[in-house]
Chains A and B, each alone.
Chain A
Amino acid sequence: MRIVVWVTEGTWQACVDTARDLPATAVTLVHVIDPDTIEAIGGARAGLLGRGLTGDAGTLAALTDGQTRLLDAAEDRLGRTARRDPRHGRPEREVVAACAGADLVILARDGDRSRLGPRSIGPHTRFVVDHAPCQVLLVWPDTPPDPATLPPPHR
């Protein structure tokens, strides 16, 4: 079984732990740098008219360093060799693209973890769940909420 693990800040540990317990023939760790993060800094600099500011001020380098550290930590935690797939682009689309040829993608819920429900899945995660060209394993990043948090049925 070829497994893709979406490594993203805050939830990667649960995904890697899940992958470790599965009979994988190959594991790919994918992490995506979102250009919007770079633009958040670039845009603010561009807004300072007249200051002679240029470039992205090392933003991409800082993000790439963070990406490398995160993939290192994920591979360490996995305890076996994995293929690393560092990407740059819209996260939801890059992850779907990284799933090509895989049997399973493992990703985690992000958002409201206090109750069961659709708000426990952020927009990017939802896009991947909806569009992944393989089986999807959606894990809670920590202890799942109590079943009592289930909303009452519509009348």
Chain B
Amino acid sequence: MHLDAAAGLLVLAGVLGFAVARPRGLPEAVAAVPGAALVVAFGLVSWSQVRDEVVALAPTVGFLAAVLVLAHLADEHGVFGYAGEVIGGLSRGSPRRLLRLVFVLASIVTAVLSLDATVVLLTPVLLSTATRIGVRPRPHLYACGHLANTASLLLPVSNLTNLLAFDASGLSFTRFAALMAAPWLAVVAVEYAVLRRVFAADLGTPAPATTPAATPRTPPPWYAIGVLAATLAGFALSEPIGVHPAWIAAAGAIGLAVPRLTSTPAAEARRLVSAANLPFGAFVFALGVVVLAVRAGPVGDAVDHLVPGHAGLLGMLGAAVLAAVLANLVNNLPATLMLVPLVAHQPGLVLAVLLGVNIGPNLTYVGSLATLLWRQVLHSRDHPPGAGEFLRLGALTVPACLLAGVATLWASLRVF
């Protein structure tokens, strides 16, 4: 039994180590899929368990692929570029005004199109906005990086962790959003207060006398904005009539794809498949199987003992802190896969775990301790990143966000 537990942990460590180090830039699935095969070969997980896990994860992975394609197409339609121009103009060159606008934009983009969209698509746009209007980019980029995690609390689509927990929570799309709305606002407010203070010097510079044009040069991409708004409305309206929100995301993606498929269909289809990031889907399936092997053993039992049994204020705080610690030890995807089944009986605890796994990664700013250490090793020969500032920012925001998030979630559960 102990040998089995060690084998499961070793495979998980190998899969995560590979994903962090990415030798030769190979996709993470290259280690994860053989890892999953290995735990089956060792007899740690039976074929029927694998089948059940894959069936349980399939809607989540499909939903994820649809949201990734939706965000990619929104970018191709120029939504992010346009948003960058709009907030650049509205800021009139003032760094503080720009920060407020970045907070609004990054929170909305993360909530509606997921944290991947904020990190991969929105952040480069905001970097170019900041350099174009001549403000120091650093606070705005930190804001984006932090909000990609903290602002991903609102909707099931905002973060893969939410998608993984959503079906287990038994909550409807709208109830999930209603319960998470107050925590979402609270943690974004905490982030704003801290960043505003930490970057007081960078944000205190005057706006230049000649400010950028207030009106964007490009016309607004109305069609794409309309499709995104309809998709968002569809998420809320589809469930009562028995349609899983994944289908709505797929419909939204098709709505955005159609006008682009007419000119060069083959090349566009290839881009869409690449945006759906199929190796990532394979990674999630394989990671699910490997974590299943660990969860079934003594490690799962030990974590189960630590999980609070009751969704009171203290119980939820305990669950959130445990989730945040686990997320920083092994990254938040395995932490979610590990914890969610253990708390699935109580929606309050599921949401508290999500607070932990979504807010927690900001503590190490790169998602986990392993990633942080690996980056320090990688950069030790050239410019070691000034991790001190990042860690200080994480230490200031994460505990405060967890407290604010849990307190508001507790209050929300009393109201709704």
A binding-site residues for B, Cβ under 8 Å: 8-11, 13, 34-37, 39-54, 57-59, 62-63, 65-66, 69-70, 88-90, 110-113, 119, 121-125, 141-142
B292 CB → nearest A CB, Å: 17
Residue pair B280, A65 in contact (C-beta under 8 Å):
no
Report if B361 contacts A (CB, 8 A). Answer: yes
- Chain B, interface size category, equals 35 or more
Residues of chain A with a CB closer than 8 A to B201's CB? 110-111, 121-125
Residue pair A53, B120 in contact (C-beta under 8 Å):
yes
21 cross-chain CB contacts under 8 A: A9-B134, A9-B136, A10-B208, A37-B137, A37-B141, A40-B142, A41-B123, A41-B127, A47-B361, A47-B367, A47-B368, A48-B367, A49-B371, A50-B19, A50-B28, A50-B32, A58-B124, A62-B128, A63-B127, A112-B200, A112-B204
Residue pair A44, B284 in contact (C-beta under 8 Å):
no
B19 CB → nearest A CB, Å: 6
Residues of chain A with a CB closer than 8 A to B204's CB? 110-113, 122
Residues of chain B with a CB closer than 8 A to A57's CB? 120, 123-124
CA distance A40 to B124 in the complex (A): 11
Given contacts A43-B375, A51-B116, A51-B280, contact A62 B131 (CB under 8 A): yes
**What number of A-B contacts does a CB cutoff of 8 Å give?**
156
Report if B22 contacts A (CB, 8 A). Answer: yes
CA distance A90 to B205 in the complex (A): 19
B365 CB → nearest A CB, Å: 5
Residue pair A46, B206 in contact (C-beta under 8 Å):
no
- Among A48, A62, A89, find the residue whose CB has the most chain B CB atoms closer than 10 A: A48
Residue pair A142, B206 in contact (C-beta under 8 Å):
yes
Report if B202 contacts A (CB, 8 A). Answer: yes
B339 CB → nearest A CB, Å: 16
Residue pair B385, A35 in contact (C-beta under 8 Å):
yes
Residue pair A10, B134 in contact (C-beta under 8 Å):
yes
Specify the chain A residue showing the minimal Cβ separation from B138. A37
> In residues 125-158 of chain B, which contact A (Cβ within 8 Å)?
127-128, 131-132, 134-138, 141-142, 144-145, 148-149
- Among A37, A69, A141, find the residue whose CB has the most chain B CB atoms closer than 10 A: A37
Report if B298 contacts A (CB, 8 A). Answer: no
B71 CB → nearest A CB, Å: 12
